[in-house]
Amino acid sequence: MNESADDLHLLAGEYVIGTLSAASRADVEARMKNDGALRTAIEMWEEKLAPLSELVEPVEPSAALWSRIESSVAAKSVPRAPVKPTASWWNSLNLWRGLAASGFATAAFMGVVVITKIAQPPAPGYMVVLVGPQDKSPGWVVQAGTNSQQARLIPLGKMEIPGDKSLQFWTKGDNWKGPVSLGLVKPGQSLEIPLDKLPPLQANQLFEITLEPSNGSPIDRPTGPILFIGRAVKII
């Protein structure tokens, strides 16, 4: 295509001031990835016209907006985070399998063979390691069988929270409208969580623990900061 310099700058200019249709905008965005001249022209317009935004009256965002952004960012940041803690759990699972196997060998040697029980593969299910959004240190683990109507939340350590606060446990599947509360959690205590009112657990399902007022969030979604967060990983 033989495009004059003026045409290129007009296309870039109209893209930046916003008069292009949705389809043309998409075209320009696809094209600028490989078209250095177009990209430079767009950046030129962005820079030259930016002072116009100084004419706009600032508007105070609602208090909830930052919490919303914070939760989304935490959710987005997590998928890769728990890999390490999960791996160390795998290691310990292997260790336990190893111990079971050697126990089996001993038992077999002694002639006390209980093949059917011991040789059963471990039940498949899900595991979630909940880590701190900042330091990624694991704080809690969730375990559930595939068809289990219950999950178990297990603390990995002790923690303290202010007297007027509580910990609230939440989950959200991929296509859910918002998170669902799984109830309040006491620091350092295990908890059995009924899952029968929820859709079946899915891989990658989000779990998080937030800091809330003493009786929990007053609304149907978290209001406080995320203390621990993680996604469900399928265990074979």
Partner 1 sequence: MPASPASPDSSRTDAASFDYEAALAACASGEQQALHRIYQHESRRLLGVALRIVRDRALAEDVLHDAFMNVWTKAASFDATRGSGRGWIHTLVRNQALSVVRTSGREVSVDEEMIEAIEGEAVANAAPMAEAFEISADIGRLDECLHRLDVTKRNSIMLAYLDGCSHSEIAKRLNAPLGSVKAWIKRGLLSLRECMA
Residues that bind partner 1 (CB under 8 A): 6, 9-10, 13-14, 16-22, 25, 43, 46-62, 65-66, 68-70, 72-74, 76-77, 133-134
Residue 182 burial by Cβ neighbours in a 10 Å radius (0-12, 13-18, 19+): buried
Q: Name the residue nearer to partner 1 (CB basis): 59 or 110.
A: 59
Tell me the closest approach of the beta carbon of residue 13 to partner 1, in angstroms: 4
Q: Name the residue nearer to partner 1 (CB basis): 17 or 93.
A: 17
Q: What is the DSSP letter of 51?
A: G
**H and E: helices and strands count for the chain:** 6, 9
Q: Name the residue nearer to partner 1 (CB basis): 54 or 196.
A: 54
> 195 and 148 in contact (C-beta within 8 Å)?
yes
Tell me the closest approach of the beta carbon of residue 167 to partner 1, in angstroms: 20
Tokens, residue 201: 């657990």
Instruction: Name the phi and psi angles at 128, rounded to 5.
Output: -130, 130
Tell me the closest approach of the beta carbon of residue 129 to partner 1, in angstroms: 18
Distance from C-alpha of 186 to C-alpha of 43, rounded to nearest angstrom: 52
Tell me the closest approach of the beta carbon of residue 159 to partner 1, in angstroms: 20
Tell me the closest approach of the beta carbon of residue 22 to partner 1, in angstroms: 4
Q: Name the residue nearer to partner 1 (CB basis): 131 or 201.
A: 131
- Angle of helix 22-32 relative to helix 5-17, nearest 10 degrees, comes to 120
**End-to-end Cα, the chain, rounded Å:** 55
Q: Name the residue nearer to partner 1 (CB basis): 43 or 220.
A: 43
